[in-house]
Amino acid sequence: MRWVPTPEDPQSVRQHQRYDCRLGGVLRVASEHDSAVRPVTSGAPAEGIPVSVVDCGKGGLGLKSAVYLPRLCRVNVEVDVGGEKLTAPLKVMRVQMADRGPTYYLGCSLSAPSPEMAGVIDRVVAFVKKGDQAA
């Protein structure tokens, strides 16, 4: 069981409920950061970094990645939601090594909150809540 901070907890950083999931995705460093962050030199494929979306909520997505990305790095993540590809601009807010793979947990929030982008995240959350998750 994974610890998720609650609003009553003084260490809480989450503003929205998170839902565990397992969705496929592809991460690309946003154009404004591609000169400073170059994961391609770390062995990441040029077409994007494969990631797993492991949790989602109205505020953003939790990702597992084999490639380290620094905090505040802006990324675009394409998520496969039942055969439909949804893209969201995100900002890496938290980075934690998940295992020695190495695998990193990237806690990401919407980098450009807008009704349109909130709608994309809402569609991902609705898909997960229905239980129609893809591996």
Where exactly are the structural domains of the chain?
Answer: 19-130
User: Does the pLDDT value for residue 105 go beyond 60?
Assistant: yes
How many angstroms separate the CA atoms of 63 and 39, rounded?
Answer: 16
Rounded Cα–Cα distance for residues 92 and 87 (Å): 15
Better-scored residue on pLDDT, 113 or 59:
59
The pair phi, psi for residue 47, each rounded to 5°, is: -80, 0
pLDDT at 118 over 50: yes
Question: What average pLDDT does the structure give for the chain?
Answer: 81
Question: Three-class SS of residue 135?
Answer: coil
pTM score:
0.78
**Predicted local distance difference test score (pLDDT) of residue 134:** 46
Residues 24-81: tens digit of each pLDDT: 999 998 888 777 776 654 555 568 899 999 999 888 999 999 989 999 999 999 999 9
Query: What integer pLDDT is reported at residue 1 of this predicted model?
Result: 36
Q: List own/partner pairs for 40-46 with CB under 8 A and 24 or more apart.
A: 42/67, 42/68, 43/67
Q: How far apart are CA 20 and CA 119, in angstroms?
A: 19
State the average pLDDT over residues 123-133.
Answer: 83
Contact 52, 24 (CB under 8 A): yes
Express each pLDDT in 82-101 by its tens digit.
889 999 999 999 999 988 88
The widest CA-to-CA distance across the chain, in whole angstroms, is: 43
Comparing 92 with 133, the larger pLDDT belongs to 92
Q: Does the domain made of 19-130 have the CATH classification 2.40.10.220?
A: yes
